[in-house]
């Protein structure tokens, strides 16, 4: 890593940092020191903690699913949809693991969160978890390119991310899905932070559960974690809370569209 890199120590210099991250597409190398990245994690953590666990947002907002370390795809998304603040964004989690540039992906997203805290929103996905990182690549990427200590700083950061959002009082958004423990929206807002993802319960389900158009009610999840839920559960949920639809990630898009259409 070049010794000529300038460490950004003041959040007011975030514009410079954003440009350096985006320039990775041209340079093929991330021009950030470990101190720069720690700054991003620590400052964005403060922003996450200043905002509720259940976000209440207004349209227009572009809602985006899993990125999984595909930094080039993230930039292509902004090329198409507009770079902040030209467009408002809500990302539904799973920023890391699997892809080769999880660090670049996280850094750019966190930088935009710091720069535009009221226009750019990041929910937590099931891969924003220490245990999952150790299996699917982000831990190894941090260890290879920087240090394990930096990975722990990332973990501390996303342990404070919100887990759900409601757009215009009509669209319920989360990474995974519904939970049999979710009776009212206040329960989400009362989830404590910072927190690890537990093996069961409300927080686990919001990040891990899946719809299943072949069942009614609740069932065990083939992932070995959380539950699956049928169209009847979706219908009852949107009716009870006066939502129009549920917007989630975690799976291929067509599953969500089919189930939501049937439920409505």
Q: Give the residue numbers marked as catalytic.
A: 127
Beta bridge partners of 164: 54, 174
CA dist 41 and 61 (Å) reads 24
Structure tokens given for 136: 């699917």
């Amino acid at each position: 890593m070049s010794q000529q890199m300038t460490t950004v120590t003041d959040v007011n210099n975030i514009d410079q940092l954003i440009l350096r991250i985006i320039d990775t597409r041209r340079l093929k190398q991330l021009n950030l020191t470990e101190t720069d990245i720690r700054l991003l994690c620590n400052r964005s953590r403060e922003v996450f903690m200043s905002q509720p666990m259940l976000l209440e947002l207004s349209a227009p907002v572009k809602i985006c699913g899993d990125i999984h370390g595909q930094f080039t795809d993230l930039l292509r998304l902004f090329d198409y949809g507009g770079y902040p603040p030209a467009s408002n964004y809500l990302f539904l989690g799973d920023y890391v693991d699997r892809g080769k540039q999880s660090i670049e992906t996280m850094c750019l997203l966190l930088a935009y969160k710091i720069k535009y805290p009221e226009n750019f929103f990041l929910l937590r996905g099931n891969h924003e978890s220490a245990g999952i990182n150790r299996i699917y690549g982000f831990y190894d990427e941090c260890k290879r390119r920087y240090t394990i200590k930096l990975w722990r700083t990332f973990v501390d950061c996303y342990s404070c991310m919100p887990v759900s959002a409601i757009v215009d009082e009509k669209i319920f958004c989360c990474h995974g899905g519904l939970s049999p423990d979710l009776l009212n929206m206040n329960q989400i807002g009362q989830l404590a932070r910072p927190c690890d993802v537990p093996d069961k319960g409300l927080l686990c389900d919001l990040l891990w559960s899946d719809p299943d158009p072949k069942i009614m009610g609740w069932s065990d999840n083939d992932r070995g974690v959380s539950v699956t839920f049928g169209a009847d559960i979706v219908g009852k949920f949107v009716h009870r809370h006066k939502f129009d639809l549920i917007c989630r990630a975690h799976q291929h898009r067509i599953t969500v569209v089919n189930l939501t259409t049937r439920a409505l």
